[in-house]
Structure 1
Amino acid sequence: MGTDGSARSPAEDRIVPSGDVLAVLSADMTVSVWAGAAERLWGYSADEILHKPVERLLVSDGPDTPRICAGGPWSGRVRIRRRDGREATADLRLTRLDPDAGGSWLLWGPNTFGRPGLEPAAVEALVHRSPISLAIWDRELRCVWFNDSVHNQDIYGAEPELGAHLTDVLRVRQPEFLQYAMETVLSTDVPILGHELRPAAARANDGHYSVALVRLDGPDGRPLGVCSMAVQAGIGQKGGRLGLLNEAKSRIGTDLDPLVTSQRLAETAVPNLADYVTIDLVEAVSPDREPLRRLKATDTSIPGFYRAGAASIHEDLRESLWARGTAVYVPTDSPFTAVLASGRSYFEPVLDTSPGTWLDNDPERSRVIRQTGMHSLMIVPLQARGATLGIAVFVRSRNPVPFSRTDLALAEELSARAALIIDNALRYTRERTAALVIQRDLMPRHLSGRGTVEVATRYLPADTHGGVGGDWFDVIELSRSRAALVVGDVVGHGVKAALSMQRLRATIRALSKLEVPPDELLRLMDELAIDMARDCPGEDEGEGACTAPAIAATCLYGVYDPGTRRCTFSSAGHPPPLIVSPDGSVDFAEVPPGPPIGVGLGFFGTAEVEVADNSVIALYSDGLIEMDHDVDRGMQELRTALAASVSGLDDLCASVVDTLAPDGPVDDDITLLLARTHPAAAS
């Protein structure tokens, strides 16, 4: 029945919540925070319901009422009892606010943000992942709720308690100032932003916390309490926790060299977090280093790591017993080996150097600890993709404050970020080293034109994220004193490109010995590439046809005939050659470009170019002329560089590369082949 005695419609009986957060329930399932949306739903004001049991809001004989009153995650449709005594149906959800079993609970309606699924994600981020600590205080400044971040800030007690007064929860210098600030916010409703708090145990030059205070009002405008938000604004001499993480993000990961990445991690943490930091990896990052398992152990220690990074407040790194790139020896039973084996951090805020510890088996390290005053230690594993890559060691000596659990959490976060970058760098280094070995082993070492041409070459492998490419060059002796000049570029980078290069080079040499004309040779190469594509396994299809060509490459092939003083060129999508005449003029040879090898079009043209004695034929890859991706400008710069008055052919080769690529390769390999026609060739 309605209030006037008339019958109610079903629509009147169903109350749809607004979708806002409704209330915060304490561990004893009493109401500690009451929102305006809850007052509209139930009709109770905050004064009427605060600190009252939640069962007062529910129909006593409802099937889910006992479960809700007992506490626990819950969601569904429930019968509620409004202030006027009427019963209604509401869709509610109960979410834990505290990870501990006896923590607080948040009562809210569905679709808080207007989109299903966003509300639990937002609450999860706010409660468990926000770097900002949030706490709610009632009018008596007693804590009624806080999020997880208070456990990572040393301005709070180790175990803050709900219901405890402000001065019992916070461990700060001059807490009376904060109490006065909160009381001012309560009385004036003027927020306070940027209030500074310093931990009670902090030194004068330690970082501080920046706190914002905002009053929480009920629907009637009366204050319910204060919300405090704190973020760390300073650690040591630079930035804060967030500043240090941002600095690490900007410095770590800009280079795919594991040594550089490790060193930047160490430098980022000194002196912001520690006085001395080392990064030690279980894998040698230089190809000239022996694997650790091949190094000989001593009577008390084993080769456990390679030193990849080290930073200290002392420029001479007096704390370090090992230089970067060298093997680090540790006792078999030590925190270093324990962290490596378990994958869990080692935390010793007050370093125990008394007899009977692991340091008894490490006299040299013990000596350094005493000499430098090391007194606090953290060892954090570097883990990525399920593997432990090494350890990061953080030490304090000059800073007299021991490491805190907050410091350990920060060290673990820094190490986790760096570990992924180091892992990528190690993977890249392994593949690039393998590709370089293949490339250099397969490149021709002694090119000879047998008196027909004098040869000079340059090859510079790329040092980028893409890795070593598949460039190659060759000079092949033919009958009648002729010489074939070849330069090519396989599409792609890495080991696959290097192996594809070798297959092409070997095939071209074989076809050249059969005296196949240049255009016919490229046509046969194109057909062979298509056949290889049909025979190779597809990446997603198992055995069968490839979805892409097994080999795709550009190539310029020329045959110089000293009898006619002519060079016959054919091109498979490669940049044109240049001819440097004896008088110093430089011109591009007009060679039909043709399609790349592996496309399957199979048509290649030829061009005959007259070449005077003592001329220089220049063949190159596009890595030499890709100047800021402006190929036309690069080709003109190459033309100018070849016109330089340099006597020796090898000197000219070096001069051209230094002029066009003074800093080395950018995104691709650089290849240059110069062939000077010999005057005696005519006879």
Structure 2
Amino acid sequence: MGADDEYGVARQRFDVADAAPVLLDPQGVVTGWTSGARRLLAYPASEAVGRKLADLLIAEDAQRVPDLVERCRGDGGWTGLLTARRGDGQPVKVVARIASAEEAHGGSRWLMLLSELADAPGWDMSRTVLEQLTAGAPVGIAIVDTDLRFVWSNAALEQFGGGPAARRLGLRFADVQPGMDAQAVEAQMRHVLETGEAVIGYEHVGHVRSAPLRETAHMLSFTRLEDDRGHPIGVYYTVVDMTERHRARQRLALLDRAGQSIGRSLDLTRTAQELADVAAPGLADFVTVDLLESVLRGAEPAPGPLAESQEPVELRRAGYRSVQDDLTEAVIAIGEVVAFRAGTPPFRCLATGRSWREERLDPLIRDWTTDTPSGRRATFGELGLHSVMAVPIRSRGTTLGITTFYRRHQREPFDAEDLRLAEDVVARAAVCVDNARRYTRERDAALVLQRSLLPHRLPEQDAVEVAACYRPADELTGLGGDWYDLIPLSGARVALVVGEVPGHGIDAAAAMGQLRTAVRTLAALDLPPEEVLAHLDDLVARSAREEGAEPGTVGAAGTQCVGSACLYVVYDPVDGGCAMAAAGHPAPAVVLPDGSVVFVDLPQGPPLGVGGPPFEAVELSLAEGSTLALHTDGLLARSETWAVDAGRERLRGALERAGPLESSCRAVVDALLPARPYDDVVLLMARTKRLGTEQVAAWELPSDPAVVADARRTATRQLARWGLDELAFTTELVVSELVTNAIRYATGTIRLRLIRERALMCEVLDGGATAPHLRHPRTTDEGGRGLLLVSQLTQRWGTRFVPEGKIIWAEQSLTDLPG
């Protein structure tokens, strides 16, 4: 057998030639005696053969013989230290090695090699001297041979488990510490034996047999021992208990993780879950976080601890974490109500504001909550929980909720240090919970304001089929000022508007409301898109100057609208014409009837209020069934830095897959953005319609007063064809007045047009450049009453300018026809 064989005969630490061989039968009886054995133990062969091995040893070692024989049968051999009794009665310390010796005829015997310890090369220092040197040392010290079997150890090593020193002899590390990672420790020993390099400060973390529930940490150092010829004869190693220092490092690491992981968002539920995730498994096996209902709503809870009463305290489960899946069905789910019964430890913690710890829970006690609708309740024994801590969540003297920590039977109970650590972690989390609560209140207020300023219901009209989606921003950036609108215009046209105010929060929402009101006011003037943006730009710049800031100063106090973006689109369902202009806003996409997607080549004007070149508009004709997709820039962005081209390609793909308008609007946003995007987003989709030829009637009129009567008759006949005879009288008056004014004050061709949509519209186009003004004539005036009658008999009227001149128009309701 070689030196590397675990139970081989040869040992590098003594010469086989100097050893005294002895043959034993399987029962430990001497069957062969050599001259070397006679010289070592002073027994002649006649006295030794036939005696039991135990008779040749001192009483203490004789008792070990049955165990040694049994071990030889199971392991194939044994090596260790024994004290033999010489023939003259004197004890002699020997190193004994017992190995199997197979016989040719198939029988079995044991070969025992004996070598006097004092004569073994390299081991001149006796155990007595070593024990005297190390008796009072608190450090565990041991020596193993080249087969990594214990040769000697001091009494201090016993505190680390493995039994007394005498029991270790001949055993390996794995035999005395089966719970520790023996393979890793022995790998260090082999490295030292092979290289001669000492290993200093090797840290081993695990569980020892003496403390199976407690994680321990030990610092080990290894040094090779050599004989006088420089040959390795073993390893000398020391062990120091570093458990307390290890636990202190763990506590600091847990606090560091808590500082980094808790409060990364301003979402209450997410913050509570982050607290649970940090505490398990580092501190506990099971953690629950329960918050008051008022806290989750963002309300201000009453200061101090909760008032003690006989009624259960109701909270809501905001977070929990279990290191084992078998607890998930037994706990209350996130979002469900948690009601702690009066007098229970969590109830008292909430009432007093003080923490509580119990090392050993009664396994027969049920959990402290009242019955839940799901009926998920169990005893602590059924859940496998045996130790608990409850720590109230308090910030600025106010109780916000409670965190409960549990350990299972496989871990040691919570101690006072664990409670202090839990209080530190919860205290840090409480600040984040309170910040999230206050932010929730402010964000909810801003969101209510934002939604109240957005259209509650888009007006009904026949120009476009429309759908809109607004998605608020992520909680870290706050609510923004994105908005949209649809404004009916004269002549059955509509204005589609999307805009964005810089900044976040209530100020941005309020500025958005101001800007939207200004756009609706300008839209009522029937101005072209570029002129609407020009007036809006002047309004924002003037407001900034009035607040003491120069135009171009983005973000100055009182200038929230400065730097706003806006896209203004006008669509005419009569001919499919579409005109648009942009102020610092991305161009819209158009989904053609065949499903392909194109982006409008729209000149980009400067943002509102910052100054720059004039705004430019583009005009295009849209086929019926085309879909305009107006959006804010947040739809193209996934982060603070984004590429327009990449964002457009993602939008193109989402629009190409879109289905019905109402569902596709939200589907596009869902495909491109998370539930809480980096910036708030608006998407307004409008599918174009065309008015049928039977809904529009137009006539060219010469500039001759005699044509007024013909115009009245023509209009009356058209109303009869439409079944609107009830409106004939009013329409004749409107046509007569508008055509007469055009003939009298304007030049060029006159065009009369009637449009039947949701209202009856009457338009008169002339080449004049001046708009009529409504007068309030005196009783003595002979004229000036025509427009006054028109304004009183129609729903609304007005003037808009076109390249050919101007159009004076008036509308009559079709839902309120005279009886």
Question: Normalized against structure 2, the TM-score is what?
Answer: 0.50
Further displaced range: 454-463 or 426-435: 426-435
Offset at 1:487? 0.6
1:438 and 2:446 matched = no
Q: Which residue of 1 aligns with 2:803?
A: none
1:349 and 2:362 matched = no
Please show how residues 168-187 of structure 1 align to structure 2 within 5 Å: none
Offset at 1:497? 2.4
Offset at 1:439? 3.0
- Ranked by relative contact order (alpha carbons within 8 Å, sequence separation 6 or more), the top structure is 1
- Provide the rounded CA distance (Å) in 2 between the counterparts of 1:553 and 1:437: 21
1:262 and 2:262 matched = no
Conservation of the 8 A alpha-carbon contact between 1:193 and 1:212: yes
Conservation of the 8 A alpha-carbon contact between 2:361 and 2:380: no
Offset at 1:172? 6.5
- Provide the rounded CA distance (Å) in 1 between the counterparts of 2:472 and 2:669: 13
Conservation of the 8 A alpha-carbon contact between 2:515 and 2:561: no
- Structure 1 588/268 Cα, relative in aligned 2: closer, same or farther at 3 Å? closer
Partner SS state of residue 679, structure 1: coil
Q: Of 541, 555, 562, which aligns to 2:566?
A: 555
Partner SS state of residue 207, structure 1: strand
Offset at 1:335? 4.5
Q: Of 464, 469, 472, which aligns to 1:461?
A: 472
Question: Please, which runs of 5 or more residues in structure 2 have no aligned partner?
Answer: 1-134, 140-154, 166-196, 223-237, 550-555, 697-819
- Provide the rounded CA distance (Å) in 2 between the counterparts of 1:311 and 1:500: 43
Q: Which has the larger radius of gyration?
A: 2
Offset at 1:513? 1.7
Per-residue CA deviation, residues 140-177 of structure 1 (Å, 9 max, x unaligned), is 8699xxxxxxxxxxxxxxxxxxxxxx98xx99768999
Q: Of 628, 633, 651, which aligns to 2:646?
A: 633
1:653 and 2:661 matched = no
Q: Which residue of 2 aligns with 1:220?
A: none
Offset at 1:512? 1.4
Question: Please, which runs of 5 or more residues in structure 1 have no aligned partner?
Answer: 1-138, 144-165, 178-188, 215-225, 539-544
Partner SS state of residue 491, structure 2: coil
Per-residue CA deviation, residues 180-214 of structure 1 (Å, 9 max, x unaligned), is xxxxxxxxx97841355889997315311243789
- Provide the rounded CA distance (Å) in 2 between the counterparts of 1:344 and 1:394: 15
- Structure 1 584/324 Cα, relative in aligned 2: closer, same or farther at 3 Å? closer
Per-residue CA deviation, residues 339-388 of structure 1 (Å, 9 max, x unaligned), is 44665433343558999xxx999999998457657553322233456654
Partner SS state of residue 634, structure 2: helix
Further displaced range: 417-426 or 282-291: 282-291
1:512 and 2:514 matched = no
Give the fraction of aligned pairs with identical amino acids, expressed as a percent: 39
1:204 and 2:185 matched = no
Offset at 1:396? 3.5
Q: Which residue of 2 aligns with 1:56?
A: none
Offset at 1:475? 0.7
- Provide the rounded CA distance (Å) in 2 between the counterparts of 1:360 and 1:547: 54
Offset at 1:407? 1.6
- Structure 1 243/202 Cα, relative in aligned 2: closer, same or farther at 3 Å? farther
- Provide the rounded CA distance (Å) in 2 between the counterparts of 1:437 and 1:283: 20
- Structure 1 290/380 Cα, relative in aligned 2: closer, same or farther at 3 Å? closer
Per-residue CA deviation, residues 625-659 of structure 1 (Å, 9 max, x unaligned), is 2256121122234345445585x433553554455
Conservation of the 8 A alpha-carbon contact between 1:283 and 1:291: no
- Provide the rounded CA distance (Å) in 2 between the counterparts of 1:376 and 1:418: 22
- Provide the rounded CA distance (Å) in 1 between the counterparts of 2:539 and 2:502: 16
- Provide the rounded CA distance (Å) in 1 between the counterparts of 2:649 and 2:415: 62
- Provide the rounded CA distance (Å) in 2 between the counterparts of 1:552 and 1:254: 30
Per-residue CA deviation, residues 570-591 of structure 1 (Å, 9 max, x unaligned), is 2110001233444555433333
Q: Of 493, 501, 513, which aligns to 1:502?
A: 513
Q: Give the letter aligned to residue 281 of structure 1.
A: L
Partner SS state of residue 400, structure 2: strand
1:599 and 2:607 matched = no
- Provide the rounded CA distance (Å) in 2 between the counterparts of 1:251 and 1:657: 29
Per-residue CA deviation, residues 388-439 of structure 1 (Å, 9 max, x unaligned), is 4322112345247331122223323332343344344334433333333333
- Provide the rounded CA distance (Å) in 2 between the counterparts of 1:640 and 1:353: 59
RMSD, aligned α-carbons: 5.1
- Provide the rounded CA distance (Å) in 2 between the counterparts of 1:599 and 1:671: 23
- Structure 1 212/333 Cα, relative in aligned 2: closer, same or farther at 3 Å? same
Please show how residues 177-256 of structure 1 align to structure 2 within 5 Å: 192-196=200-204, 203-211=211-219, 230=242, 240-241=250-251, 244=254, 252-256=262-266
Please show how residues 165-564 of structure 1 align to structure 2 within 5 Å: 192-196=200-204, 203-211=211-219, 230=242, 240-241=250-251, 244=254, 252-284=262-294, 287=297, 300-303=310-313, 305-312=315-322, 313=324, 315-317=326-328, 320=331, 322-330=332-340, 335-336=345-346, 339-340=349-350, 343-350=353-360, 368-369=379-380, 375-384=386-395, 387-399=398-410, 401-448=412-459, 450-533=461-544, 546=557, 549=560, 552-564=563-575
Q: Which residue of 2 aligns with 1:572?
A: 583
- Provide the rounded CA distance (Å) in 1 between the counterparts of 2:282 and 2:362: 24
- Structure 1 442/202 Cα, relative in aligned 2: closer, same or farther at 3 Å? farther
Conservation of the 8 A alpha-carbon contact between 1:613 and 1:679: yes
Conservation of the 8 A alpha-carbon contact between 2:562 and 2:610: no
Q: How many residues align?
A: 493
Offset at 1:532? 4.6
Conservation of the 8 A alpha-carbon contact between 2:330 and 2:377: no
